Structures are given as structure tokens and as C-alpha cells.
Amino acid sequence: MSRLRISTRRTASQPLWPRLRDGDSCGRDRILAQAAARFGTPSYVYVTDVIAARLGALRTALGRWFSVSFAVKSNPNPALLGWMQGKVDYLDISSGGEFELAQTAGWQPDRISFTGPAKREPELRPVIAAGLGELVIESLREARLANAIAAELGMVQPVLIRIAPDHVPKGFGDHMAGRPSPFGIDIEDAEQILPQIAALPNLRIIGLHIYSGTQSLKPDAICENWRIFLEVFTHLSEALDLTPEKLIFGSGLGIPHHPGEVELDLDAIAQSIAPDLDAFRALPRFAGTRLVLELGRYLVGPAGYFLTRVVSVKQSRGTRIAICDGGMNANLAASGNFGMVIRRNYVLHRVEDGTAPPEEKHDITGPLCTSIDKLGSGVMLPRLEEGDLIALHAAGAYGPTASPVYFISHPLPSEIMVTDGQMQDVTRLRP
């Protein structure tokens, strides 16, 4: 079993690192090389300056309408969750275990919502007893179970009802609605099921929740999706005669992972959706409603780098192969086995060490005894040699906890957090 252990100890010899700025590749590589030298590889490096900058840009573009909730499943590192206190408004958890992690990080239960399609009595009871902010109801079964627990505890639990629309626009990497789905209550069934939930005496419906599509890099698709949300929220609130306290917009904001992809234009999203949001907020029913963007990967993904070191290099039938100490066991997503339909390389680079060998094509693999353990195919990089350090970009989300870290029992990846130039070991998983 894994054990939680966070070390923030700093020795007198540990240097203070300069803040990482956009385009500062030398500063970036200096941090990455020092992290690898100090803590080993494979490892993840999370740079909180990058998260802060992204959060600032998000609030500048969309803060006029939205509060921000961070989806813990994207990166549940307790040190990172602790850093987020006072920077994001809420956390969203997807299990009782994540609730414990959030509390370990210092979050108050009333700032936490709980989504997930298979909530069980042993995890619902303690979170309700602790004063969970909102339970996101995804089925009538779940509502009845939560109501019974709240009644036994002598409580009334605030709930949000998750709705699955019948349509998700093109342009999203994953669809969680618009087809058979375990998530939420289908919009076709909502008018029959929601009154039954509303009748449960120990639940109080305070709003609605939709997260129907994720990982979109197309502003038009994101805005079209949010317009669907607004229609659903308006229709169901009127049908229930609900004046919602909170409405959750599953943001769908994506990040570039692959060469050639372009960062989302938040200003374009804001400009396009502004008339719709302003008209929505002008309706008396929604004048006092708090609108919340729920997101995870968008905030933390670009702040992370996955570091792996070349153990061996071989030439095989005309292909130069760099075999590294970390592969899909430590970073499943980069291997293409975490929902990628057609495998594409993540953006990666050779961490500079003062040399500049000519570029050539490489296949980059991990240490596992399986042919699917591949981090790159035909990647143009300076000629790799044994001992070289490789950094995969956009690795701050869905890293260690989304990977089969115990497969073949190779060393588990370390986690390093860099805040205000200060580096600390925040590794959660230990042998």
C-alpha cells in the first residue's frame, strides 16, 4: 500500500531558484536538471508560478462571471492542494480518499463538492458527517442513499444535481454526455427524476452541475457547449421552480499536448460567450447565483514536467532507440494509453547540458517488458546518449496517480514542487 509522506525540509546548501518565466528555457532546464540531480528520475516537477499565471489569466478573462473549482482527480498531491488554498475558490473530489487528501491539505469540508457515478455508503457517510459543501447527485439511487444517511445523522445535505445533456458539440477530446453514459441524469429523464429527489426531506437542492465534454482547444466548441448548459439550467430551474445558489460549468478547457497544437485563447472565449452570460445573469432567477468553472488539467497540466533519464541507447534496424528509466508505468498518458485513440507524441525536449549535438530521429521507450511502453516515435532531438535527461511537457495532470506505477515494480516517480523559486520534495507515493 502507498503511504502519504510529504517532506518540505530544506538544507542550508539547497539553493534558491529563480522564478520560471515564459520562454526562459535556460532557467527551465536549470531547474529540471537540478531536480533530477537532487531527487532522481523518473520524477515530476510542478512549477506553481505557472499555475498562478494561468489562474490569473483565467480570472482576468472570465472572473467577471465565474468562481473557480479545482478537480482534485487531475492532481491530488496534498502539497499542491495546500498551495491552492486561497487561490482557487473550491475543490471538487471524486472519492472518499480524495476527501481525506483535501482535508490533509487543510481544506474545509464546506469548500468541497463530491462528484462520481459510484458513490458508496462507506464514503458518503463520513463526508456528509463532516459537513461536505455539496454532494453532486448522479442518480436517484445515490440520492436515496444520501438522504437515508443524512436522516440518520440528523442533517440536511446540500446537493447539486448532475445533468447529462443530449448533445456535446464536436471538438472535445472526451464526451461524457450525448450518448450512453454513467455520468449524471440524462436530460431526457430529468423532469421525471428531479422532483423525486426534491421530495427527499434530508436533501436540499441548491443547484445543478454539468460536465459533458473535456480537453477542447476550440473556443467555438467551448462556447457552444456552455450555451447548451445555459439552456439546460434555465429550463430545469423553471421546471423545478428552483432559484439556484450555485451552477457548475464543467469547463472543458483543454491544453496543448502535441506538437502543432495551440494554447486556448481565453479572450476569444470571453468575447464570444459574454452576451449569453450577461443575459443569463440578468434573469431574476439567476441574479444571485454563483457560477463556478470546474477544471483541473487546464490549471496544472502545463505547470508539470515529467523527467526520465536515458539508461541505454541501441540501434535497431535503422532506428535509434533511447531506453529510459521511466515509461508508461510512471506516465501512462504520454504513452498514448490513457484515452488517446491514435497515439501522438507529447511535446518533449532533451534537457540542455551545455552541449549541442546535431538532431536526429529517435524512438523513446521506457523500461517495461511490453511493446506499448513508448514515450515517443520518430522524435527529432539532439542525438541522445546514455545519461541524457528528457523532459515531457504538460505533465502536471494525470501523472503518477493515473499511471500503473507498480507494474513490474520499477522505482516509483518522485514529485517535486517549485514555489517562488524554492524546490521541495512533495512525493506522495512511496514503496
Contact 384, 324 (CB under 8 A): no
| Cα–Cα nearest to 396, from 74, 3, 38, 69 | 74
Q: Give the C-alpha separation, 428 to 259, whole Å.
A: 30
- Looking at residue 234, its amino acid is T
Which residues is 320 bridged to in the sheet?
Answer: 315
26 is catalytic: no
Q: Is 301 helix (H, G, I), strand (E, B) or coil?
A: helix
Q: Which of 26, 223, 324, 369 is catalytic?
A: 369
Query: Kindly report the CA angle at 121 between 90 and 108, in degrees rounded to 5?
Result: 25
Residues 6+ apart with CB under 8 A from 390: 307, 308, 309, 310, 322, 324, 348, 349, 350, 351, 364, 375, 381, 384
Contact 191, 242 (CB under 8 A): no
Dig out the grid coordinates for 282 from the structure. 440578468
Neighbours of 32 (CB within 10 A): 24
Can you give the length of the chain in residues?
Answer: 431
Contact 297, 252 (CB under 8 A): no
Q: Long-range contacts made by residues 403-406, C-beta under 8 angstroms, separation at least 24? A: 403/328, 403/329, 403/330, 403/331, 403/332, 403/333, 404/328, 404/329, 404/332, 405/329, 405/330, 405/429, 406/329
Give the H or E element holding residue 46.
strand 43-47
Give the Å distances, CA to CA, from 185 to 101, 178, 179, 197. 28, 11, 12, 11
Task: Calculate the dihedral angle through the C-alpha atoms of 427, 295, 305, 14, rounding to the nearest 10 degrees.
Answer: -50
Contact 322, 310 (CB under 8 A): yes
Neighbours of 271 (CB within 10 A): 13
Strand pairing class (389-392; 304-316): antiparallel
Any idea which residues carry the catalytic annotation?
369
